[in-house]
Every structure is written in C-alpha cells, then in structure tokens.
Structure 1
Amino acid sequence: QSGCPPTWPMEKLILVQEMKTWEEALEYCRGHYTDLPSLLSKTEHLQAQSKIEGAQTDHVWTGLIFLAREWLWVNGDHLEYQAWSGGKLPHCPAQYLHCGTLTRDGEHWGTRNCEERRNFLCYRA
C-alpha cells in the first residue's frame, strides 16, 4: 500500500468557474496549471464531459482555436478526434467564431466568439 489517495494521479482536468474570455482563460491556465486542454480521444472527451457538469455557462472554453485557416489545439496537438455539433468541422467559421468550446451537456464541440466570458477547463500535466 503506497498511501496514495484513490484519485492518484491527480486529476488532469480542472473546471474553473470564473468568467473569462478565451485569451484570459488561456493566460489563467498557463499561469495556474499547464494549458487549456486538448481533447484528443473519446476517452478524454468523456473525462471533460464529467468535469463540466457543474459549469455555470452553457459552453466552456477548451484549447481549440481557428488560426491561419485551420482548427488546431493551442498546444500544437493535431486535430484528429472530433465531436463537432452537426457532425462536421466548420471549415470557414464566421470571423468572430474562432474559439472552441464544449457544450455543458458535454456532447459536442462548438464555436463561439472569443470575447465572450465563459467558464473553462484547464489541463494539469
């Protein structure tokens, strides 16, 4: 018996119930944890889904952003696993809808105005 708690290793995803823009959320996560999260698989999506049930906003920020005409994870991870609302990647989102969210029910990703204030997930390495 190692004496480690049953939740060891520490939870990697943290729901932050503060209202921040996407960029403010990015700065917060990088300052307090590691980064905004990448959801690279169905397993990671389900982990995030269980974390955001207590969110105070209908969408929470993730590390997904539309830059240089493509969707990518802010930490450089490739966008392979996808769970877009409507089932497909928005190739040319409206100019202001360039930041990615996870809906509070955890079912789908969405695109929102990066200046909206929302709860967000942080990733802890």
Structure 2
Amino acid sequence: MAKLNLLAGGQISQTTQGAYSIVESWLVVGGVMPHLSMVPLISESTNEYIAVETPMTWSSAQSFCRKSYTDLASIRSQKELEEILRTADPGSSKVWWIGLFRDSWKWSDQSDLSFTVWENGEPNNYVGDEFCVQYTDKKWNDLPCSMTAPFFCYSGEFHP
C-alpha cells in the first residue's frame, strides 16, 4: 500500500473487496484526471490490472498505460478475464478497451492471441475500420479505434 500511495500522492483507499481506488492521480490527455481502480492479480504473476474510467481512444489509452504502467491489458485465460472483472467498480461502464488489435490479432504487448471470448458474429469489421477490441459483458467486440471508452491497463512484468 505504501508503494501505491507514493505513486498516487497518498490518495489511495482500499475497498472491502481488496480493490484499490485512486481518487487523485496524474494529469493526462487534455489535463483530465482519470479515475482508477487497482486489483492485484491472484496468480503466479506479479501483475495488477488497473481500470481507468476516463474514456480515451484506443491509442491514447495505450499511451497512457505504457507511460503510467506496463501496457493495455492482455487477457490470456479465463482466470485473467475474471481478474479484470474485479477491477471495475460495480456501477461503472460496461464497455472497456483491452489491448487486442487487428494485426493478425495481437495484443498491445505484441504477444500472440491464444484465448478468445468473442461475441457471437465477432470479429466482423462491420464499418470497415474495426481494428481494436472492447470488452463488454464478458465478451469481445471489434470496434473503430477512434471511439472513446474506459480501459484496462496492467502493471508488472510481461509473462506471455
């Protein structure tokens, strides 16, 4: 907790579920101060997922995650999918950017795609420029990267 308080200037509180809520944090794109939630991963890795509820485009979200943490979240298993769900506030947005993008479908950290939970009929590139992926209601959907949405980052070492 001391390390987290140092990162956020002492503005972190822990919820009863073990999530961390950062009330004040870094100034980012356009001077917007994001609302963040953090949950340590319960796995063999030393990573954490961070829910950033300030809507951004996919590339702005990627830049934010790479500057402040490690990268946009990669989801490689059902367990990681469940961990990501724990980071979001219960009443928050239900649509989130994740690190998956269309380049033969790779993760933002350049790892290969091996686990998927696509919505029925997805990916479909419906409008011809759906190259990024949003997570919604436990499923994935390809959408234009220029749309804005909250997003998930991860922090820690990369473990493919």
- Whose Rg is larger? 2
- State, as a whole percentage, how many aligned pairs show the same letter: 27
| Aligned partner (choices 136, 141, 144) of residue 110 of structure 1 | 141
1:24-63 counterparts in 2 under 5 A?
Answer: 24-54=60-90, 56-63=92-99
Q: Give the TM-score of the pair, scaled to structure 2.
A: 0.63
Q: Which structure 2 segments of 5+ residues have no match?
A: 1-17, 19-38, 41-47
Tell me the residue number matched to 2:5. none
By how many angstroms is 1:53 displaced? 4.5
What count of residue pairs does the alignment treat as equivalent? 111
Letter in 1 for 2:132: C
The aligned counterpart of 1:4 is none
Residue 93 (structure 1) aligned with residue 125 (structure 2): yes
CA contact (8 A) 2:122 2:140 kept: no
Q: Which amino acid aligns with 2:125?
A: P
1:78 maps to amino acid: D
Change in CA separation of 1:112 and 1:89 when aligned onto 2, cut-off 3 Å: closer
The gaps in structure 1 that reach 5 residues or longer are 1-6
Residue by residue, what CA displacement relative to the aligned partner does 1:56-75 show, whole Å, maximum 9, x if unpaired? Answer: 434100000002xx111111
Greater relative CO (CA pairs within 8 A, separation 6+): 1
Task: State TM-score, norm by structure 1.
Answer: 0.79
Larger deviation, residues 38-47 vs 70-79: 70-79
Query: For residue 3 of structure 1, what is the aligned residue in structure 2?
Result: none
Matched, 1:71 2:141: no
Alignment RMSD: 1.9
**Deviating 4+ runs (over 4 angstroms):** 53-56
